[in-house]
Chains A and B, each alone.
Chain A
Amino acid sequence: MAELSAAEAYRILIGSRIRSQLAYRASFWLNVATSVAVGLVEFVEIYAIFANVPVFGGLDLRQSSLVFALSNIGFALADTIFGQLDTIPTYLRLGRLEVLLVRPMPLLLQLVTSEVQMRRLGRLAVGVLIVVIVLPGLDLSYTASTVYLLVITPFVGAAIYGAFFATAGGSQFFLIDGAEFTSAFVYGGSYAGQLPGSVLITPIRILFTFVFPATVAAYLPSLLIMGLPGPRFLPAWLGWFAPVFAVWAWLLAWLAWRTGIRRFTGAGG
């Protein structure tokens, strides 16, 4: 008998989750509205700064908004796909992970496909809206490289932020009580990533570029798009290597995940 391909299997899994969400109509749209509100409030933070000063980290409001928007789109995508991983502590407590382990599917994939939070895309809509609004005023020259960067940055950003989620997820197995530690790079990373990296003081700048590459998710590519140079330790040309940074981030995630599973199954001793 023919065996289902992995792709078909995942399609069925994710399809059922999406369908089940759309089934609860009213609550779903309410959640989308909430997600939009979250995106807006985060933008107001940037706006409030510019209500006080015209230039922030070497960027004006429009330029900063581009960074913010690209970062948020990436993060919203990552949150939609990987956001489910923050239920791991609950699963651990309830002992539900054992049920998942006796299934012939990798644990990470089971958790990721166990829920697809469609409503988090509301935040993404805010990001897209902002990009659409500020793009004309930025007066960019639309060369091939600019267009390439504009299109690919949200996805590479999503990959980077997704890696943070995965690192956090894997770490839950050995951090347990120390789970809050992961907020430092998941939500700290999202925060640092939507700001102009030039405002970050040096130690933080290094942390969020070379360890958890949040500034590479949106700020550096944005500098390249707008043709601006970067600050100390953060030259704009690094932005071309965003995919490399994404691979690095996933390497960390894989390490955390492996350590976590081994700890859970007791192989760590």
Chain B
Amino acid sequence: MASEPIVQLEDLRRSFTVRQKVGRLRRQTRVVHAVDGISASVQPGEAVGYIGANGAGKSTTIKMLTGILVPSSGRVRTCGYDPVPHRRRLAREIGVVFGQRSQLWWDLPLRDSFRILGAIHRLSAEEATVRTEELVDRLGLADLLDTPVRQLSLGERMRGEVAAALVHRPRLLVLDEPTIGLDMISKERLRHFLVAERAEFGTTLLLTTHDMGDIERLCDRVLVIDRGRLVFDGTLPSLAERVALQRVLVVDLPEPSPDLQVSAAAHIGSDLDGQRQRLAFSPKETTAARVLAEVSAVTEVVDLTLEEPAIEDIVRTLYGVG
């Protein structure tokens, strides 16, 4: 197996000229640097999460590495190809799932979409059938094959989209906000499938998302982009460390109580007259279990929840730090 990176970005840049109306007649041109010098490489088999606020440049980067958009400057290679000139050859090696746009045929049953895609990718009938059946089985689509795509729920459709993107066994799977709008069960199902798929076929995963849960479950590496620049490239634990991510333990007590004083955590709020209290702690310094132990030593705990940090907070912190 070649150890050549499957995605390579070298000082990648992309700018847009935007014309805005100023006053009644004049127009002003502004240059927007959507991607402002990004360098990174992804090795085959990796699972990379690509996060950032809206408008930070995630979609633009994805478009450049899939061959939809030409960079203003810099170099990009996907599966060894220069994406725009070799778009069609590249398309055979990658699968792309656009969260907001469908690649399935709207008015046809799901199974027809798979068949047509098999034909587009020039798979022989047997090959296509074998692969489709396998995907259908693992994503639980068997009952939905004869339903027209426009009648599927969002969760069902997303599973169909992922299956469609994998029919031709691509080496790289790119997912652009795949879990947006999905309920917890559908998200979990999708994540479970992607983990298994990676384990079995070694497919490289590149995922943009707003959901930290996706990152935690699927990715061993995180790239954070802010205003066109990469502000972090490393593992999730090191991100947590760098950002001193705080987690919040929410405890429900049997009756209204005064604010809890705990050495390992900071009290940041009380609801219901102190019956529900929020304690923030840094995972770097302590664990949820220890905080809980301290609280339980003082009072009974009826119920508890653990809250995750939000992407916006992460980015804000990173930008402030880096």
Do A and B actually bind? Answer: yes
Which residue numbers of A lie inside 8 Å of B, CB to CB? Answer: 1-6, 8-9, 12-13, 16, 20, 94-96, 98-99, 101-106, 110, 265-267
B108 touches A102 (CB 8 A): no
Which residue numbers of B lie inside 8 Å of A, CB to CB? Answer: 14, 63, 66-70, 72, 84, 87-89, 91-92, 94, 96, 98, 100-103, 107-108, 112, 115-116, 119-127
Chain A residue nearest to B168 (CB atoms) is: A104
* A1, A9, A103, A106: residue with the most chain B Cβ atoms closer than 10 Å: A103
Chain B positions within 8 Å of A2 at CB level? 124
B112 touches A16 (CB 8 A): yes
Some 5 contacts from A to B, beta carbons below 8 A apart, are A13-B116, A13-B119, A20-B108, A102-B66, A102-B67
Partner of B120, one of A105, A266, A267: A105
Partner of A99, one of B103, B115, B124, B127: B103
With A9-B119, A265-B69 known as contacts, the answer to whether A102 contacts B84 (CB < 8 A) is: no
Q: A20 vs B106: C-alpha distance in the bound complex, in angstroms?
A: 12
B101 touches A95 (CB 8 A): yes
Chain B positions within 8 Å of A6 at CB level? 122
Interface of B: prevailing SS: mixed
With A95-B101, A99-B103, A265-B68 known as contacts, the answer to whether A4 contacts B91 (CB < 8 A) is: no
B94 touches A102 (CB 8 A): yes
With A1-B126, A16-B108, A267-B84 known as contacts, the answer to whether A99 contacts B119 (CB < 8 A) is: no
Q: A200 vs B127: C-alpha distance in the bound complex, in angstroms?
A: 58
- Distance in Å: Cβ of B1 to nearest Cβ of chain A: 21
A103 touches B120 (CB 8 A): yes
Chain B positions within 8 Å of A94 at CB level? 101
Partner of B124, one of A4, A20, A106: A4
B102 touches A106 (CB 8 A): no
- Distance in Å: Cβ of B59 to nearest Cβ of chain A: 10
B116 touches A104 (CB 8 A): no
Chain A positions within 8 Å of B124 at CB level? 1-4
Q: A98 vs B126: C-alpha distance in the bound complex, in angstroms?
A: 29
Partner of A102, one of B89, B96, B127: B96
With A20-B107, A102-B94, A104-B91 known as contacts, the answer to whether A265 contacts B70 (CB < 8 A) is: yes
Chain A positions within 8 Å of B92 at CB level? 104
A99 touches B101 (CB 8 A): yes
With A3-B122, A16-B116, A267-B84 known as contacts, the answer to whether A101 contacts B70 (CB < 8 A) is: no
Chain B positions within 8 Å of A110 at CB level? 120
Partner of B88, one of A8, A12, A106: A106
- Distance in Å: Cβ of B52 to nearest Cβ of chain A: 19
With A20-B107, A99-B103, A267-B84 known as contacts, the answer to whether A9 contacts B69 (CB < 8 A) is: no
Chain B positions within 8 Å of A266 at CB level? 14, 69-70, 72
Q: A163 vs B190: C-alpha distance in the bound complex, in angstroms?
A: 45
Nearest first, the 10 A-B pairs at minimum CB distance are: A104-B91, A12-B119, A4-B122, A267-B70, A9-B119, A266-B70, A102-B96, A99-B103, A2-B124, A104-B92
Chain A positions within 8 Å of B103 at CB level? 99, 102-103
Q: A8 vs B124: C-alpha distance in the bound complex, in angstroms?
A: 10
Q: A112 vs B124: C-alpha distance in the bound complex, in angstroms?
A: 23
Q: A1 vs B14: C-alpha distance in the bound complex, in angstroms?
A: 40
Q: A4 vs B94: C-alpha distance in the bound complex, in angstroms?
A: 19
- Distance in Å: Cβ of A198 to nearest Cβ of chain B: 46
Q: A113 vs B89: C-alpha distance in the bound complex, in angstroms?
A: 20
Chain A positions within 8 Å of B121 at CB level? 103-104
B126 touches A9 (CB 8 A): no
Q: A105 vs B92: C-alpha distance in the bound complex, in angstroms?
A: 10
Q: A233 vs B126: C-alpha distance in the bound complex, in angstroms?
A: 59
Chain A residue nearest to B85 (CB atoms) is: A267
B98 touches A99 (CB 8 A): yes
With A4-B123, A4-B124, A267-B70 known as contacts, the answer to whether A104 contacts B102 (CB < 8 A) is: no
Q: A96 vs B126: C-alpha distance in the bound complex, in angstroms?
A: 30
Partner of A1, one of B88, B116, B127: B127
Q: A99 vs B126: C-alpha distance in the bound complex, in angstroms?
A: 26
Chain B positions within 8 Å of A104 at CB level? 88-89, 91-92, 120-122
